[in-house]
């Protein structure tokens, strides 16, 4: 989900005095473009150049041991995040530390020497959004917010509504009014406020930006975006720790806004800088759906600028036509010797089924995108089959059943008798 | 799912010589009714009295430390299960060690002093069936099976198909032909054989019993049932370990066949006997849907015999009209001073929504049954509000969306403008 275009450079704050000691190692907000620094607060756009703000840190005393002694959730990395030291004790869904699955069957099928699936469908609401929402809530509470909001059509809506229920705070989730009932239910069931907006997703996003300028609410991916986005780093930390404190040689990451890809790279660089892993080369690959491939298009054309597109793909959780972090994702892929590739909707479906058939992991469409891209990059020689590779699955197939339903039916239909069973030739 | 009625006392074996050292602490099969003992094998019914066979163990060297040094999955309890010592190294989904969530909001709402939700929706295919299937596969491989099968309409089908994919063995899942497409997809996607049978669930079950007598296949809940059922013990072990090696005072468990409830009790008794927990009193409560409450009916009537019923409830994963372990579940509830209670379909829906709203956990209908039963037992005074209580959620709400869809919609629908937002009075 992209940051909605907005005139506002800060959202309305709740008038709480911010205690900087409650943000762990975070010391300031800093503009990604011009470097201008701001005090920690509910800001997200640079007043000087309108660039996006990021968290600036001063890390101290982070060791493998201090991390390993933490909880089995993303809070084991609290000393690398803009959250208070007691974050794990506050009521929260405790996402993260999902499985890094050795994917031997899939590796064999693809001709890869060593492959892992980082399976974020194991999160509480079954997508990686639980991570970013958890960090946004932890920081947002310190900024004084008691209502948390977002615009979303899927995973983010689920994650915000569930996190608010656990935390005992109010949620207000904005969705397009014509969303399928199934997707409304998975957010509404958590009992927060669910606002159906008579318009498309762009209309919903625009309205949220306006509301964020008026109401003292924490919109996780608007005014809390600098904090929110840092949650994605934890995927990178976990991959390294679960490999035994080393970096993989190749990683395949889905690209929507581009933020996840850039944050995994940031996590790897932080771990190197802190001496927690050896400084070994890694290559980062981005995966998009051909029906919404603005970053892949720019990569292949050799452009630095990402031309917006109108999304048309079954991979709805990646369907951001104008990705805010697209240029940064291009930078990472180029700097690390990776690539950004895209795959068609039929290839996505094949990717989902390939992963399910070989590893028993049922991924949502975004996981189909990464697995299909992995296969395509191997076929084109861009991925080294002898290099240790990690592919990300960021969500659960139960949320996107429609993608595989037309091609996933019974093998055979028989009468209820042993003779019918025998005749079917299944033995 | 009940053991299908069958004339056969043993299924066809694959002719493999069974190595008894490959079943961990398991030493024999023993009849639950007459005590007759049999060598470990693909047997499930006593030849003397037609009683169900259970695993007999000789435990050695199990300590809190040996368990704590194991993997973060149900295999940490391998020394208490009929599985080989190297079970964790074989390709499997590594289910278990799901979260025990302190449910402070729900406790407050219900007036309970201390409440935990044991949340098995966090398993790989999002139900507790991954546990029993994992144990059935581990034992079944040692018995020589290379095809694994089951009859199911839901969670078990998903679990078998996914486990087979990961293990690289064949699965053959039998379902009624008129199952909704959504439920077919979540099994078919894993690529095993899916047989649609022109009949109802009873017909499918009968066919499976016949096939089990002919084909050298491991039907997880037929000829592998004694091993399979032991997987449920791990829920009991985990609750005790996650509470810091002690037993809860009250547990609320869903009752389908009744096996899960009896196995949690068995786990608690084993832990006491092995000195791993103190011998403190606990009470076990069973939860059924009123539309399929044969065990609750018998409990309330003071009967030892469970009268079969024709199921009619939204809690389809509990809809076993003739529960094989019903009498044993009655025994456990009575012996521990618990009870078996049932709740209506509207109460089940309310239970799902109550858990979602207070804790951010979206349960399938079976979880709605346990939460609603918890509430009902508190209201009737059968549960002590001051006693530490654990309620089980055995599956994920994403699999039973239909239950809550009619009552989970948007709070409000508005035009896409700030003024419309203001008029809606949401601020």
**Residues of A whose CB is below 8 A from B415:** 197-199
pLDDT of residue B182: 79
Classified by CATH at the fold level, domain A20-62+127-228 comes out as: Rossmann fold (3.40.50)
Percent of chain A with pLDDT over 90: 92
Pairwise CA distance, residues B78 & B248, whole Å: 23
The DSSP code sequence of A59-118 is --S--HHHHHTS-SSGGGGGGGTTS-TTGGGSS--------EEE-HHHHHHHT-SSEEEE
pLDDT of residue A13: 61
Would you tell me how many other CB atoms lie within 10 Å of the CB of residue B221?
A: 28
> Where exactly are the structural domains of chain B?
20-62+127-228, 100-126+230-407
Residue to mutate among A189, A193, A212, with most B CBs inside 10 A, is: A189
Pairwise CA distance, residues A290 & A313, whole Å: 7
State ipTM. 0.95
The DSSP code sequence of A175-242 is EETT--HHHHHHHHTT-SEEEEESS-HHHHHHHHHHHHHHS--EETTTTTHHHHHHTTHHHHHHHHHH
Q: What does the mean pLDDT of chain B come to?
A: 94
- Helices B233-242 and B259-273 sit at what angle, rounded to 10 degrees? 50
**B72 contacts A91? CB cut-off 8 A:** no
Smallest Cβ distance to B191: which of A91, A122, A357? A357
Task: Annotate B297-365 with three-state secondary structure.
Answer: HHHHHCCCCCCCCCCCCCCHHHCCCCCCCHHHHHHHHHHHCCCEEEECHHHHHHHHHHHHHHHCCCECH
Tens digit of each residue's pLDDT (9 = 90 or more) over B100-155: 999 999 999 999 999 999 999 999 999 999 999 999 999 999 999 999 999 997 99
SS3 B1: coil
Inform me whether the C-beta atom of residue A164 falls under 8 Å from chain B C-beta atoms: yes
- Helices B326-336 and B294-301 sit at what angle, rounded to 10 degrees? 50
Tens digit of each residue's pLDDT (9 = 90 or more) over B358-383: 999 999 999 999 999 999 999 999 99
Any residues with CB less than 8 A from the CB of B297 and at least 6 apart, and which? B303, B306, B307, B309, B342
Any residues with CB less than 8 A from the CB of B361 and at least 6 apart, and which? A124, A162, B101, B117, B119, B121, B355, B367, B393
In this model, does residue B4 exceed pLDDT 90? Answer: no
Tell me the CA distances in angstroms from B337 to A65, B117, B191, B236, one per residue in order: 46, 21, 46, 18
Using only C-alpha atoms, chain A has a radius of gyration, in whole angstroms, of: 21
Distance from CA of B28 to the nearest CA of A (A): 30
Query: What mean pLDDT do residues B25-35 have?
Result: 96
Nearest-by-CA chain B residue for A120: B124
Query: What mean pLDDT do residues A263-292 have?
Result: 98
Tell me the CA distances in angstroms from B363 to A130, A400, B316, B394, B398, one per residue in order: 17, 18, 13, 8, 8
pLDDT of residue B11: 52
Q: What does the mean pLDDT of chain A come to?
A: 94
Distance from CA of A315 to the nearest CA of B (A): 17
pLDDT of residue A179: 83
* CATH topology match: A20-62+127-228 vs A100-126+231-407: yes
Q: Calculate ∠ Cα A247-A251-A252, nearest 5°.
A: 165
Pairwise CA distance, residues B427 & B419, whole Å: 12
Tokens of A32: 């990604």
Query: What mean pLDDT do residues B219-230 have?
Result: 96
Residue to mutate among B121, B127, B189, with most A CBs inside 10 A, is: B189
Inform me whether the C-beta atom of residue B71 falls under 8 Å from chain A C-beta atoms: no
A309 phi-psi bin (left φ>0, alpha ψ -120 to 50, beta other): beta
Query: What mean pLDDT do residues A6-15 have?
Result: 52
Pairwise CA distance, residues B361 & A151, whole Å: 21
Pairwise CA distance, residues A268 & A271, whole Å: 5
Tell me the CA distances in angstroms from B325 to B2, B153, B263, B270, B304, one per residue in order: 8, 20, 10, 19, 12
**Residues of A whose CB is below 8 A from B404:** 185, 189
Tens digit of each residue's pLDDT (9 = 90 or more) over B388-421: 999 999 999 999 999 999 999 999 999 999 999 9
**A189 contacts B397? CB cut-off 8 A:** yes
Tell me the CA distances in angstroms from B294 to A391, B131, B291, B382, one per residue in order: 48, 25, 9, 20
The class level of CATH for A100-126+231-407 reads alpha beta
**B172 contacts A426? CB cut-off 8 A:** yes
Percent of chain B with pLDDT over 90: 92
Within A314-379, residue ranges assigned H as helices are 326-336, 345-359, 365-379
For residue B13, name the pLDDT band (cuts at 50, 70, 90): low
Smallest Cβ distance to A199: which of B193, B359, B416? B416
Tens digit of each residue's pLDDT (9 = 90 or more) over A171-215: 999 999 988 787 899 999 999 999 999 998 889 999 999 999 899
Among A165-169, B15-19, B134-138, B216-220, the range scoring the smallest mean pLDDT is B15-19
Tens digit of each residue's pLDDT (9 = 90 or more) over A116-145: 999 999 999 999 999 999 999 999 999 999
pLDDT of residue B9: 45
**A77 neighbors A237 (Cβ within 8 angstroms):** yes
pLDDT of residue A3: 41
Query: What mean pLDDT do residues B9-30 have?
Result: 82
pLDDT of residue A16: 75
Chain position carrying tokens 């009209």: B321
Pairwise CA distance, residues B340 & B287, whole Å: 6
Tokens of B196: 């649609």
**B188 contacts A358? CB cut-off 8 A:** no
Burial of A21 (0-12, 13-18, 19+ CB in 10 A): exposed
Residue A415: closest CA among B183, B177, B209: B177
**Residues of B whose CB is below 8 A from A165:** 105, 356-360
pLDDT of residue B12: 59
pLDDT of residue B179: 83
**A190 contacts B410? CB cut-off 8 A:** no
**B313 neighbors B351 (Cβ within 8 angstroms):** no
Tokens of A191: 């009992």
Q: For the sheet containing B100-102, what is the strand order?
A: B100-102, B115-119, B389-393, B250-254, B283-289, B340-343
In this model, does residue A163 exceed pLDDT 80? Answer: yes
In this model, does residue A305 exceed pLDDT 70? Answer: yes
Any residues with CB less than 8 A from the CB of B415 and at least 6 apart, and which? A197, A198, A199
Tens digit of each residue's pLDDT (9 = 90 or more) over B155-197: 999 999 999 999 999 999 999 998 878 789 999 999 999 999 9
Tens digit of each residue's pLDDT (9 = 90 or more) over B80-89: 999 999 999 9
Inform me whether the C-beta atom of residue B404 falls under 8 Å from chain A C-beta atoms: yes
For residue A7, name the pLDDT band (cuts at 50, 70, 90): very low
**B360 contacts A177? CB cut-off 8 A:** no
**Residues of B whose CB is below 8 A from A188:** 408-411
Residue to mutate among A360, A402, A427, with most B CBs inside 10 A, is: A360
In this model, does residue A2 exceed pLDDT 50? Answer: no
For residue B3, name the pLDDT band (cuts at 50, 70, 90): very low
Smallest Cβ distance to B165: which of A182, A360, A396? A360
Specify the long-range contacts of residues B329-335, CB closer than 8 Å, at least 24 apart: B329/B255, B329/B258, B329/B261, B329/B262, B329/B286, B329/B295, B330/B295, B330/B298, B330/B299, B330/B303, B330/B304, B330/B306, B331/B262, B332/B261, B332/B262, B332/B265, B332/B284, B333/B261, B333/B284, B333/B285, B333/B286, B333/B299, B334/B299
pLDDT of residue B390: 98
CATH 3.30.70.1380 is right for the domain spanning B100-126+230-407:
no
Pairwise CA distance, residues B358 & B246, whole Å: 26
pLDDT of residue A17: 83
Inform me whether the C-beta atom of residue B195 falls under 8 Å from chain A C-beta atoms: yes
Inform me whether the C-beta atom of residue B245 falls under 8 Å from chain A C-beta atoms: no
pLDDT of residue A406: 94
In this model, does residue A1 exceed pLDDT 60? Answer: no
Residue A143: closest CA among A135, A151, A155: A135
Tens digit of each residue's pLDDT (9 = 90 or more) over A38-96: 999 999 999 999 999 999 999 999 999 999 999 999 999 999 999 999 999 999 999 99
Tens digit of each residue's pLDDT (9 = 90 or more) over A326-344: 999 999 999 999 999 999 9
Residue A125: closest CA among A185, A70, A187: A187
Burial of B163 (0-12, 13-18, 19+ CB in 10 A): buried
Query: What mean pLDDT do residues A157-163 have?
Result: 98
Query: What mean pLDDT do residues B331-335 have?
Result: 98
In this model, does residue A5 exceed pLDDT 60? Answer: no
**A172 contacts B412? CB cut-off 8 A:** no
**Residue A209 or A3, more confident:** A209
**B165 contacts A197? CB cut-off 8 A:** no
């Amino acid at each position: 989900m992209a940051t909605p275009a907005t005139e506002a450079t800060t959202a309305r704050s709740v008038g709480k005095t911010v205690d900087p000691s409650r943000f762990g190692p975070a010391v300031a907000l800093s503009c990604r473009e011009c470097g201008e620094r701001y005090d920690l607060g509910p800001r997200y756009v640079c007043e000087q150049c309108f660039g996006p703000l990021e968290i600036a840190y001063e890390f101290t005393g982070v060791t493998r041991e201090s991390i390993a002694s933490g909880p089995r959730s993303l809070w084991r990395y609290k000393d690398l995040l803009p959250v208070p030291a007691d974050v794990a004790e506050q009521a929260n869904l405790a996402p993260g530390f999902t499985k890094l699955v050795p994917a031997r069957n899939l590796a064999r099928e693809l001709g890869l020497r060593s492959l892992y699936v980082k399976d974020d469908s194991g999160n509480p609401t079954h997508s990686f959004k639980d991570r970013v929402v958890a960090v946004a809530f932890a920081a947002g509470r310190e900024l004084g917010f008691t209502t948390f909001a977002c615009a979303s059509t899927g995973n983010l809506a689920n994650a915000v509504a569930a996190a608010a229920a656990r935390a005992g705070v109010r949620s207000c989730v904005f969705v397009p009014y014509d969303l399928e009932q199934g997707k409304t239910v998975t957010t509404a069931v958590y009992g927060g406020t669910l606002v159906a907006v008579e318009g498309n997703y762009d209309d919903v996003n625009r309205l949220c930006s306006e509301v964020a300028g008026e109401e003292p609410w924490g919109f996780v991916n608007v005014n809390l975006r600098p904090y929110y986005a840092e949650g994605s780093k934890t995927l990178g930390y976990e991959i390294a720790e679960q490999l035994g404190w080393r970096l993989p040689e190749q990683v395949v990451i889905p690209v929507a806004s581009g933020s996840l890809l850039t944050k995994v790279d940031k996590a790897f660089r932080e771990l190197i800088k802190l001496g927690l892993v050896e400084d070994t080369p890694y290559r980062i690959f981005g995966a998009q759906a051909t029906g919404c491939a603005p970053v892949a298009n720019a990569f292949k054309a050799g452009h630095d600028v990402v031309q917006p597109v109108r999304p048309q793909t079954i991979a709805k959780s990646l369907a951001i036509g104008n990705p805010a972090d697209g240029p940064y994702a291009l930078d990472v892929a180029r700097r690390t010797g990776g690539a950004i590739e895209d795959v068609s909707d039929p290839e996505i479906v094949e990717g989902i089924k390939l992963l399910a058939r070989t590893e028993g992991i049922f991924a949502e469409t975004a996981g189909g995108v990464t697995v299909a891209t992995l296969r395509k990059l191997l076929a084109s020689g861009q991925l080294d089959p002898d290099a240790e590779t990690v592919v990300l699955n960021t969500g659960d197939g139960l949320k996107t059943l429609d993608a595989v339903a037309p091609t996933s039916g019974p093998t055979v239909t028989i009468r209820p008798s042993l003779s019918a069973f025998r005749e079917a030739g299944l033995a």
